[in-house]
């Protein structure tokens, strides 16, 4: 585990309290899939570019369905996330469909996607304050 991982883990635990495992799982997901740009690319590549652009841009966020999440991320990824929280992959897809558009909207408030894990962490920390 690198220095950045130890620091980010400490910050997450301090700022997000009981939600720390969920926040850490989200950051792990992002990290495993090329950061926020990589996850957003998966959704764009799966045919959901309009949704992704709406989350990053100004205005209303286009919705996402559980089926769209499954198409973009795949059953294996959803199962892996579900195993961390004792949830079925279907439940994970529903939760991601609900939260992902809102989280991306908040993390890209200036219309720019953080390109590095450290930039993403800085934005996430500023939101938790």
pTM: 0.76
What tens digit of pLDDT does each residue of 5-59 get? 554 555 545 544 555 566 666 666 777 778 788 899 999 999 999 999 999 988 8
Q: Is the pLDDT of residue 1 over 70?
A: no
Cα dihedral angle (16, 79, 95, 49), rounded to 10 degrees? Answer: 110
pLDDT at 103: 83
Dist CA 34 CA 112 (whole Å): 16
Higher-confidence position of 6 and 62: 62
pLDDT at 3: 45
CATH 1.10.3470.10 fits 3-128, yes or no: no
Tokens 């795949």 identify what position? 74
Place of tokens 């996607």: 113
What whole-number distance in Å separates Cα of residue 114 and Cα of residue 98? 21
């Amino acid at each position: 585990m690198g220095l950045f991982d130890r620091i980010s883990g400490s910050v997450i635990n301090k700022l997000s309290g009981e939600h720390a495992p969920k926040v850490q799982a989200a950051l792990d997901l992002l990290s495993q899939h090329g950061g926020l740009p990589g996850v957003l690319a998966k959704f764009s590549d799966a045919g959901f570019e309009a949704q992704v652009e709406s989350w990053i841009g100004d205005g209303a966020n286009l919705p996402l369905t559980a089926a769209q999440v499954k198409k973009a991320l795949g059953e294996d990824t959803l199962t892996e996330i579900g195993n961390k929280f004792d949830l079925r992959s279907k439940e994970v897809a529903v939760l991601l469909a609900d939260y992902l558009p809102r989280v991306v909207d908040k993390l890209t408030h200036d219309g720019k996607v953080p390109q590095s894990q450290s930039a993403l962490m800085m934005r996430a920390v500023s939101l938790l304050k």
